[in-house]
Amino acid sequence: MEVIRATKAGTCYGVQRALDIAEEVLDTCPCAYTLGPLIHNPRVVEELAARGACVAKSLDEVEGNCATVIIRSHGVTPQVRDEVVARGFTLVDATCPHVARAQQGAAELAEAGCRVIVLGEADHPEVEGLRAYAEKAGGKVDVVGGPSDIPEGLYAPIGVVAQTTQMRENLEAVVGELKARGLDPIVKKTICYATRQRQDAAAELAARVDAMVVIGGRNSSNTTRLAEVCRMACPKSYHIESGDELDAEMFAGCQTVGVTAGASTPDAHINAVVAKLESF
């Protein structure tokens, strides 16, 4: 059975950077905290916990006067950042630079006097951060999931900033709707194409193999979406967290199997799955 790896798969730049930063901190600091899991991958979170990384739901759960708090790749609100410092904790910033640019963009729109439209999932921590940065800069903010959520009665100037993982088509639809209302919004270019590149590469591969294996946390929305994309082109698509879930019977009659992985799946996990598939 030939095993083919998607041309784009596994950790994106921002997640890999956050993992590298966390590992560097844990090399010298026996206990560091993240506010929520560092990434949406239970196996990686377990591995980090074994090295001393604690997951806190809020700063109230952080123990020790000089504890280290690592900010995750999708960032936090400026209030949380200030609170980390005010409580005397050491702040280690693993916010993805793309997210940091979006936060800065949201603040710039507000400073320019714009009403700020944040396009994204309302309860996602990255979106909470974008909203908070704009509000801290004095802006009035609306979070929308798409064009149908845009409130009535808006007037210029309007600014739009998107959660980094939004689809370009959704942003275009929101901008189109605002233009149709006679508003000409200032649009910050904040979309990161890491997710889209993984989906496109997975779809291309899924269309030419007998089976697909998608590796990543079941709690990872980008991995789940990747599995959906694969299933559309290849009905025999398996979403797994570890190679232990695979056996040879699952690939009976297959000549080719494709492998892809979500943006929070490290290379070592992908390599282990590829090696197992090649042993069948």
Where in the sequence numbering do the catalytic residues fall? 126
Q: Look at residue 52 and give its three-state secondary structure.
A: coil
Count helices and strands (H / E) in the chain. 9, 12
Parallel/antiparallel/unpaired status of strands 256-261 and 237-240: unpaired
For ligand SF4, what does the binding mask look like between residues 197 and 226, x meaning CB under 6 A?
A: ------------------------------
Binding residue for ligand SF4 (CB under 6 A) from 26, 39, 94, 96? 96
User: Under the criterion CB under 6 A, does residue 195 sit at the interface with ligand SF4?
Assistant: yes
Distance CA(90)–CA(88), nearest Å, equals 7
Contact 218, 241 (CB under 8 A): yes
Q: Minimum Å distance from CB 37 to ligand SF4?
A: 14
Smallest gap from Cβ 265 to ligand SF4, in A, equals: 12
CB of 88 to ligand SF4, least distance (A): 28
CA-CA distance, 114 to 16, in Å (whole number)?
34
Vertex 231 angle, CA 228 and 233, to 5°: 120
With binding defined as CB under 6 A, does residue 196 bind ligand SF4?
no
Nearest-approach distance from CB 263 to ligand SF4, in angstroms: 5
Site string for ligand SF4, 246-265 (x = CB under 6 A): -----------------x--
Residue with tokens 């690939």: 251
Distance CA(106)–CA(184), nearest Å, equals 17
- Is residue 160 involved in binding ligand SF4 (CB under 6 A)? no
Which of 13, 54, 91, 238 is the binder for ligand SF4 (CB under 6 A)?
Answer: 13
CB of 85 to ligand SF4, least distance (A): 23
Contact with ligand SF4 (CB under 6 A) among 194, 213, 240, 273: 194
Is 171 among the residues that bind ligand SF4 (CB under 6 A)?
no
Phi-psi region of 90 (alpha: psi -120 to 50; beta: other; left: phi over 0): beta
Is residue 164 a contact point for ligand SF4 (CB under 6 A)? yes
Per the listing, tokens 């050491």 go with 90
Angstrom distance (rounded) from CA 10 to CA 269: 9
Least Cα distance to 24 among 43, 45, 46, 52 occurs for 52
| CA 84 remoteness from chain centre | 23
Does 53 bind ligand SF4 (CB under 6 A)? Our answer is: no
Q: Is residue 12 close enough to count as binding ligand SF4 by CB under 6 A?
A: yes
Window contacting ligand SF4 (CB under 6 A); options: 91-99, 134-142, 175-183, 269-277: 91-99
73 binds ligand SF4, rule: CB under 6 A: yes
* Cα torsion angle, 129, 134, 138, 141, sign: negative
> What residues make contact with ligand SF4 under the rule CB under 6 A?
12-15, 73, 96, 98-99, 164-165, 192, 194-195, 263
